[in-house]
A and B are shown apart, each in its own frame.
Chain A
Amino acid sequence: MKRYLKITPEGTKDFLFAECAAMDDVCGRIEKVFAGRGFKRVITPGIEFYDVFSLPCSGIAQEDMFKTTDNKGRLMVVRPDSTLPIARMVSTRLQNNLMPVRLYYKQAVYRNNPTLTGRRNELMQMGVELLGVKGLRADLEVITTAVEALTAVAGDFRIELGHAEVFDALSDGLDISENEKEKIRLTIEGKNYSALNNLLDKLEPCRAVSAIKSLPSLFGGEEVFERARAICAGTKASDALDYLHKIYTSLLALGLGDKLIIDLGLVQRNDYYTGMVFTGYIDGIGDAVLSGGRYDDLLSEFDMPMGAAGFAIDTDAVTLKTLSDAKVSYADNPAVLVYAEDGQELRAIELVAELNRAGRKAQFSVLPTWEETEAFARQRGIAQVITVGEED
């Protein structure tokens, strides 16, 4: 039988040295932003019941989840997302807590991606959830937290804003099945103009149909609002547009103008979004590194209806970018190697501790001879070797 004891499963990897240092650095900076703004850390289990993620609105296909069973035969999944477990937790453990509640997490999620696509099956994510409140102030708080977090870890980035209700309001007016609606949503998400037109040409022409047709092209700067208003006039999507414009104007006032993109074709797979949605991009990473939005209906699935919004950052992608830019050096050699003559080991170990306390990076040489210690120091690039001899 073939044994797989020397390789890691597809989509996973070991993190070594500089990779860990860079990851700690990136996570530390983000953590500082989150904690500084009053978000409190929570950790949810790595394994949860399948039912938590099988809600129709979860947007996670069952084939994308790693599954197992507990010893009662119940279906379990390895956490594929952090927002749903947090919704579960808030609706139970925090139901009597003073609202709003600000939470953040730093934990991996697991997805069973198709093989040989180079996608990661284990993804470290950090994110916040602001629960128990609706409205513009909460939305601004969540978006500006995302902006500050990206500012802390990436020089260049873009934040793209959309609103889940624009598509929902327009598509609700159409006489189509959920299946057809999903097909339309997918073509808008993929900016697949020709397929979208094919789908919509089969429908009775009306205002909503022509509005949906132009959704994927409604992205860009502030001029988008004007075009969108003309297209969506008289539909329920107008209110969503006005609201999004308000958020956009507020963010402009914060000096974010050049970093903002409006994309009304931002219709995300996570169906639980009900209000504003946003994604973040950084140069050099071919996929969104941040995504989030408002999900006011999700907590009702757990019998605790309340407003909520949040986002997640793909910290692995940010770490990768940080490492490739190598703006920060993550080389981490000790400055001093301490060698002990026979019988002086404990004194040498004490000296190392003393140097460490004084803030110097020192290491006790575990090699048996001075020659080996000296050769090791030379090869590793350690500048100084201190020898601890008999009472000197």
Chain B
Amino acid sequence: MPVSAASRKSLRWEKKTDDMKPLRIALTKGRLEKTTIELLETIGYNCDEVRNKGRRLILPVGDNDFEVVLAKAADVITYVEHGVCDLGVVGKDTILEHGSSFYELLDLGFGKCRFALATKSGSDFYSGYNTKTIATKYPNVTRAFFDDKNMDVRIIKIEGSVELAPLVGLADGIVDIVETGSTLKANGLEVIEWVTDISARLIANTASLKLRKREIEALQKKLEEVTR
């Protein structure tokens, strides 16, 4: 199929370098933010602006190499999914609970913990025919976990300390994030099953990865080297 010279010219992709916006990275405020900033400094980016951020929420990094946006965990996913941020650093727990469509590029290896199913010590969770009640802050993770077992459960969403629910008799068990297990122990609960491992992940907007492949891959590679 012949294409006219004029249209062939118009099809050429023109490289924009000067007026290109810097990559925008959404970071989960708090612990993940701190570790990510340390990581960025390790690979040679100046993060002074972020360290002295005051109340600002959008901050330049390095020689305007990219912009850092600080957000709550679930919002990191929202910003990346809608493409207003190109990349994001967020915990696997948030991805599992809120996840939708984006690329998960890298396991950054920090912020490690686990989702676990816990019950009152000594109780036999799987015994009997009654439908079990689970209290959790993560209803989607819980639903998926028991769906895989083909097990009907009643899920109750709790906002604060989930450990309380089985103690006061609201639930038979809880699904929650466990780091050291000391809170569970102090309240007479024990882990009966690990649901999944959690750590911080680098995520990317689908269109950004296609349109700004080189920049994103370069950063990904650098991060990969220091987190390995």
Is the CB of B42 closer than 8 A to any CB of chain A? no
Residue on A nearest B95 in the bound complex, by CB: A192
Interface-facing stretch out of A92-100, A284-292, A349-357: A284-292
Number of A-B contacts (CB under 8 A): 81
Interface-facing stretch out of B10-18, B59-67, B129-137, B184-192: B10-18
Question: What's the nearest-Cβ distance from chain B to residue A38, in Å?
Answer: 12
Is the CB of B103 closer than 8 A to any CB of chain A? yes
- In the complex, are the beta carbons of A255 and B103 less than 8 A apart? no
Residues on A with beta carbons closer than 8 Å to the beta carbon of B204: 191
Pick the residue among B13, B78, B103, B207 that contacts A192 (CB under 8 A).
Answer: B103
Pick the residue among B11, B206, B209, B213 that contacts A151 (CB under 8 A).
Answer: B11
Is the CB of B33 closer than 8 A to any CB of chain A? no
Contact status of A191 and B8, CB under 8 A, knowing A158-B210, A261-B213, A283-B211? no
- In the complex, are the beta carbons of B13 and A140 less than 8 A apart? no
- In the complex, are the beta carbons of A254 and B213 less than 8 A apart? no
Pick the residue among A117, A192, A220, A259 that contacts B11 (CB under 8 A).
Answer: A259
The interface bits of chain B over 43-64 (1 if a CB of A lies within 8 angstroms of the residue's CB, else 0) are 0000000000000000000000
- In the complex, are the beta carbons of B82 and A141 less than 8 A apart? no
Residues on A with beta carbons closer than 8 Å to the beta carbon of B81: 117, 286
Residues on A with beta carbons closer than 8 Å to the beta carbon of B82: 118, 286
Interface residues in A169-207 (C-beta closer than 8 Å to B): 190-195
Residues on B with beta carbons closer than 8 Å to the beta carbon of A151: 7, 10-11
Is the CB of A313 closer than 8 A to any CB of chain B? no
Question: What's the nearest-Cβ distance from chain A to residue B191, in Å?
Answer: 20
Is the CB of B104 closer than 8 A to any CB of chain A? yes
The interface bits of chain A over 325-341 (1 if a CB of B lies within 8 angstroms of the residue's CB, else 0) are 00000000000000000
Residues on A with beta carbons closer than 8 Å to the beta carbon of B138: none
Residues on A with beta carbons closer than 8 Å to the beta carbon of B10: 151
Number of B residues near A (Cβ < 8 Å) is 35
Question: What's the nearest-Cβ distance from chain B to residue A215, in Å?
Answer: 13
Is the CB of B3 closer than 8 A to any CB of chain A? yes
- In the complex, are the beta carbons of B13 and A258 less than 8 A apart? yes
Residues on B with beta carbons closer than 8 Å to the beta carbon of A259: 11, 13
Residue on B nearest A37 in the bound complex, by CB: B1
Contact status of A190 and B11, CB under 8 A, knowing A281-B207, A286-B82? no
Is the CB of A147 closer than 8 A to any CB of chain B? yes
Interface residues in B86-104 (C-beta closer than 8 Å to A): 100-104
Residue on B nearest A283 in the bound complex, by CB: B211
Pick the residue among A219, A258, A285, A286 that contacts B12 (CB under 8 A).
Answer: A258
A254–B104 Cα distance when bound, in Å, is 34
Question: What's the nearest-Cβ distance from chain B to residue A179, in Å?
Answer: 10
- In the complex, are the beta carbons of A117 and B100 less than 8 A apart? yes
Interface residues in A243-289 (C-beta closer than 8 Å to B): 254-256, 258-259, 261, 263, 281, 283-288
Pick the residue among B11, B105, B205, B213 that contacts A255 (CB under 8 A).
Answer: B11
A377–B209 Cα distance when bound, in Å, is 50
- In the complex, are the beta carbons of B13 and A193 less than 8 A apart? no
Pick the residue among B1, B15, B100 that contacts A144 (CB under 8 A).
Answer: B1
- In the complex, are the beta carbons of B213 and A191 less than 8 A apart? no
Residues on A with beta carbons closer than 8 Å to the beta carbon of B103: 190-192
Contact status of A220 and B8, CB under 8 A, knowing A117-B100, A258-B13, A288-B207? no
Is the CB of B75 closer than 8 A to any CB of chain A? no
Residues on A with beta carbons closer than 8 Å to the beta carbon of B209: 191
Residue on B nearest A269 in the bound complex, by CB: B101
Is the CB of A31 closer than 8 A to any CB of chain B? no
Contact status of A192 and B8, CB under 8 A, knowing A258-B13, A281-B211, A286-B208? no
A308–B161 Cα distance when bound, in Å, is 56
- In the complex, are the beta carbons of B106 and A193 less than 8 A apart? yes
Is the CB of B153 closer than 8 A to any CB of chain A? no
Is the CB of A148 closer than 8 A to any CB of chain B? yes
A156–B12 Cα distance when bound, in Å, is 9
Residue on A nearest B109 in the bound complex, by CB: A194
Residue on B nearest A279 in the bound complex, by CB: B210
Question: What's the nearest-Cβ distance from chain A to residue B59, in Å?
Answer: 21
A238–B12 Cα distance when bound, in Å, is 30
Is the CB of B226 closer than 8 A to any CB of chain A? no
- In the complex, are the beta carbons of B11 and A256 less than 8 A apart? yes
A309–B81 Cα distance when bound, in Å, is 29
Question: What's the nearest-Cβ distance from chain B to residue A199, in Å?
Answer: 13
Is the CB of B219 closer than 8 A to any CB of chain A? no
Contact status of A286 and B100, CB under 8 A, knowing A194-B107, A254-B3, A255-B8? no
Pick the residue among B1, B105, B107 that contacts A191 (CB under 8 A).
Answer: B105
Is the CB of B83 closer than 8 A to any CB of chain A? yes
Residues on A with beta carbons closer than 8 Å to the beta carbon of B201: 194
Question: What's the nearest-Cβ distance from chain B to residue A139, in Å?
Answer: 12
Q: What are 16 residue pairs bridging A and B, where the CB atoms are less than 8 Å apart in the complex? A: A118-B82, A156-B13, A156-B16, A158-B13, A158-B211, A190-B104, A194-B104, A194-B201, A220-B213, A255-B8, A258-B13, A259-B11, A286-B207, A287-B101, A287-B207, A288-B206
In addition to A118-B82, A192-B103, A263-B210, 18 A-B residue pairs with Cβ atoms within 8 Å of each other are A117-B81, A147-B11, A151-B7, A156-B13, A156-B14, A190-B102, A191-B204, A193-B107, A194-B107, A194-B201, A219-B213, A254-B8, A255-B9, A258-B12, A259-B11, A259-B13, A285-B83, A286-B207
- Residues of A whose CB lies within 8 Å of any CB of B are 117-118, 140-141, 144, 147-148, 151, 156, 158, 160, 190-195, 219-220, 254-256, 258-259, 261, 263, 281, 283-288
9 closest A-B pairs by beta carbon, nearest first, are A286-B83, A258-B13, A191-B103, A192-B104, A194-B107, A255-B8, A281-B207, A259-B13, A281-B210
